[in-house]
Structure 1
Amino acid sequence: MSAIGVRDLTRVRRESPESVDRAWAERGRRTLGTGQLLVVAADHPARGALGVRQDAMAMASRSDLLERMAVALSRPGVDGVLGTADILEDLLLMGLLEDKLVFGSMNRGGLQGASFELDDRFTGYDPDQIVAKGLDGGKMLTRIGLDDDGTAETLEASAQAISALNDARLVAMCEPFWSVRSGSGRVANLLDPDSVIKSIHVAAGLGSSSAYTWLKLPVVEEMERVLDATTLPCLLLGGDPRVSPEETYASWGAALAAPAAAGLVVGRALLYPQDGDVAAAVDVAADLVRRSR
């Protein structure tokens, strides 16, 4: 199938929805390889998380997001993408997933700000569909809140998904956080080294095998000590930085030097950079990864 533009996506979806399955079947794939990876993430909207820095609705326009993704995926050194089915299928129809690694986002049910946020149900991809579509793995957000009963359901579901993906010999990308609720009920992820280390140990123990389990971890202080907590490959989370780009890039570069570092997964920081230049932001991240390979 020929690639289409953003303006044609709705027409194609309406007139020939079967073209999505055909495009998955025809997509050119690549291997993980042995070097560090740069993966662009775009699964935030499905959880109602549309904000970037001070703009609460920065990611509201799907056409704008897709155009930014198109720029990012066209840059040298970008290995793949992480997203929910709706976004990945748009990118697929646009011809942007050829020879890219593709990871499906699995649990988006813990909506930002909801009373059930930590009961993060698996409302996106499941392991069977990840296999059927020829994706390269699945990602699950696994927040651990000791004062929230929803954590138990999330841990169990994450463990089941990790076991199934390991059985299929596909990457099970687990993103753990040690989380708390404030007095207002808002969920906050604890980003001190000890909290991240505790989350690593819980996540690494989930499932009946860890042979294909990777961790997706935030870049925090004392990353050498943090990454010494596991032998699993770790993709470093770029996040939505509140500091200068220079400080952000320096922290990424230092963390990538650790033996457990397997690359970067970055979304908002690259797609919505402070100066608006997506290509330049992606190129800096790609250069950091390239120098660490």
Structure 2
Amino acid sequence: MSRVDAADLAGIRAHHPEAVAEAAARRRRRPLVGDRGRLMIVAADHPARGALGVGDRRFAMASRPDLLERLRTALARPGVDGVLATADILEDLLLLGALDDKVVMGSMNRGGLAGAAFELDDRFTGHRAEDLARLGFDAGKLLLRIDYDDPGSLDTLHSAARAIDDMAAHRLPVFVEPFICRRVEGRLTNDLSAEAVTRSIAIASGLAGTSAYTWLKVPVTANPDDMARVMETSTLPAVLLGGEVGASPGAQEGAYEKWRGALQLPTVQGLVVGRSLLYPADGDVAAAVDTAVGLL
């Protein structure tokens, strides 16, 4: 696989911006869920929230050519169904011809920048439902973070509900990633207790005028043994999110074990994992992706 040439991509964008729409029109599409009945999606929507770090490497995701090479490696592995990313990354992958026969999932709200005072204000600054429909993409994803002590969370709930309505009007699946959050010494923290994850699933499942096109994107609870009870909260199809995994090989293996157990639950349909596969501790993207695919 040839290395990504940033100059080539910039040249196409500068002189022939219509190439993005042309590549989208040519892309070979596939059903959201294939014959396996499972989904393996690689996530790369972190940079648009300013979240560029992986472990102790604060700017690991800052090199776009390097990220694109890692994504192409991951997407080429057997069993990988598709990618979740923002418009800029998906359009680069379109121009590179890397999205044929893949599920393409657009990231919809990236306004809550990592570490900002307004981090919980998850406004919809990314894909709209009409953008995903126009480009022939297959699904969208939205982040739903709720802090019971922050009155602004009501605006987040309202805007998320209307986005789900818009996606349903276009008959496009939308993956909702809910968290109950709180600030600890000024830093936003996701509560992964069984009680909090249960409550977040219940809230997300009831949003909008229909749940017909809604999927859930949920974390494994702090105690993985709680997951069976937690996932009984909803009949909506769900995928597990990977989250950030520690840098050691032991932490990676621990994450695989947690995913393996939760993937046996009736409503869980697959995995959406990003940094832990694209930037594994040993640097071997292909091996990390193959291991995750094997869990399915």
Q: Whole-Å Cα distance in 2 between the matches of residues 282 and 127 of structure 1? A: 29
- TM superposition shift of 1:149: 2.4
What is aligned with 1:16? Answer: 16
Q: In the alignment, what sits opposite 1:33?
A: 33
Deviation sequence 1:82-102 (CA, Å, 0-9, x none): 000000000110000001001
Q: What whole-Å deviation, never above 9, does each CA across 1:254-285 have from its counterpart, x for those lacking one?
A: 01000010100000010000000000000001
Deviation at 1:223, TM superposition (A): 1.1
Q: Which residue of 2 aligns with 1:146?
A: 148
CA RMSD in angstroms comes to: 1.3
Q: How many residues align?
A: 286
Q: 1:58 to 1:5 in 2, by over 3 A?
A: closer
Q: Deviations over 1:117-162 (max 9, x none)?
A: 1111100000111111111111000000111122122111110011
Tell me the SS of whatever aligns to 1:52. Answer: coil
Does residue 228 in structure 1 map to residue 235 in structure 2?
A: no
1:106 touches 1:125 (CA, 8 Å); kept in 2? yes
Instruction: Report what 2:202 is aligned to.
Output: 201
* Cα offset, 1:33, TM superposition: 2.8
| Contact 1:4–1:94 (Cα < 8 Å) also in 2 | no
Which stretches of structure 1, 4 residues or more, deviate above 4 A after TM superposition?
Answer: none
Letter in 1 for 2:239: L
Determine the C-alpha separation between the residues in 2 that align with 1:135 and 1:39.
Answer: 14
Pairing 1:187–2:188 present: yes
Structure 2 partner of 1:72:
74
Secondary structure, counterpart of 1:225 in structure 2: helix
The aligned runs of 1:24-173 (5 Å cut-off) are: 24-33=24-33, 35-173=37-175
Partner of 1:212: 213
Asked whether the 8 Å contact 2:108–2:124 carries over to 1, the reply is yes
Partner of 2:251: 244
Q: Following the alignment from structure 2 to structure 1, what is the Cα–Cα distance between the partners of residues 255 and 78? A: 21
For the residues of structure 1 that align with 2:128 and 2:159, how far apart are their CA atoms?
Answer: 11
- Structure 1: how far apart are the matches of 2:143 and 2:259? 21
Counterpart amino acid of residue 197 in structure 1: T
Q: 1:93 to 1:251 in 2, by over 3 A?
A: same
Secondary structure of 1:244's counterpart equals helix
Contact 2:4–2:65, Cα closer than 8 Å, also in 1: no
Q: Deviations over 1:206-243 (max 9, x none)?
A: 11000110000011221111111110011100111126
3-state SS of paired residue (2:233): coil
TM-score by length of 2: 0.94
- CA shift in 2, pair 1:96/1:182, >3 Å: same
TM-score (normalised: structure 1) = 0.95
Q: CA deviation at 1:5?
A: 4.2
Q: Distance in 2 between matches of 1:227 and 1:275?
A: 33
Paired residue type of 2:275 = R
Change in Cα spacing, 1:4 to 1:24, as seen in structure 2 (3 Å) is: farther
Gaps of 5+ in 2: none
